[in-house]
């Protein structure tokens, strides 16, 4: 028996091709691959849904600690969680990802921008206004929290714009 036959186990003397080794990718290459193949769209929709629930809970506790002093404080408590079912639906349905998720995301983004304006108005209406800005930013409503809520809506909007994974 020749050395070639012993190494490959082949009777005919032909060398068998082995399966290619899996490509090792770093985290950045993995994310880029997922974006190119469409897999990231579902992941981002699920992250937007989860982020909406966490953000809505945080908004509720912060606005509740302020005793919902302004009726506008109820708006994000109602609007932000609406992104969660839209995100979950987008994970399972391409149609929901193209029609429902962008609408819910745009509403959350608009509400976050509105909240940013209202929070800054509250900061500037504190005693001293602009002249006491450092103290007012620290003691007033959180200046950029509504903008961070808009980022959750932005994740949903980005998910709706990305390419969908094909089976």
- Residue 157 maps to a domain: yes
- Residue 18 maps to a domain: no
CA of residue 127 relative to chain centroid, distance? 37
pLDDT, average across residues 99-112: 97
3-state secondary structure at position 72? helix
- Residue 1 maps to a domain: no
Helix axes 39-65, 83-92, angle to 10 degrees: 170
- As for how many domains the chain has, the answer is 1
Q: Which two tokens stand for residue 67?
A: 């005793």
3-state secondary structure at position 23? coil
- Residue 74 maps to a domain: yes
pLDDT, average across residues 78-102: 95
pTM of the model: 0.79
**What is the C-alpha to C-alpha distance for residues 58 and 155, in angstroms, rounded to an integer?**
18
- Residue 43 maps to a domain: yes
**Percentage of residues of the chain with pLDDT beyond 70:** 89
- Residue 15 maps to a domain: no
Q: pLDDT averaged over the chain?
A: 88
Domain that holds residue 91: 26-161
- Residue 33 maps to a domain: yes
- Residue 13 maps to a domain: no
CA of residue 101 relative to chain centroid, distance? 12
Contact present, 41 and 159 (Cβ < 8 Å): yes
Residues 2-61 have pLDDT tens digits of: 555 555 555 555 666 777 767 778 888 888 887 888 788 999 999 999 999 999 999 999
pLDDT of residue 116: 97
């Amino acid at each position: 028996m020749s050395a070639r036959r012993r190494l490959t186990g082949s009777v005919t003397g032909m060398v068998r091709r082995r399966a290619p080794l899996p490509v090792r990718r770093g985290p950045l290459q993995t994310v880029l691959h997922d974006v190119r193949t469409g897999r990231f769209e579902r992941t981002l929709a699920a992250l937007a849904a989860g982020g909406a629930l966490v953000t809505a809970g945080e908004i509720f506790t912060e606005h509740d600690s302020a005793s919902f002093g302004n009726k506008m404080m109820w708006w994000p408590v109602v609007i932000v969680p609406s992104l969660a079912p839209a995100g979950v639906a987008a994970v399972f349905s391409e149609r929901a990802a193209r029609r429902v998720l962008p609408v819910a995301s745009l509403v959350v983004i608009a509400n976050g921008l509105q909240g940013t304006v209202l929070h800054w108005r509250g900061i500037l209406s504190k005693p001293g206004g602009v002249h006491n800005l450092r103290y007012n930013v620290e003691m007033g409503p959180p200046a950029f929290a509504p903008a961070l809520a808009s980022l959750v809506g932005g994740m949903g909007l980005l998910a709706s714009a990305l390419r969908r994974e094909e089976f």
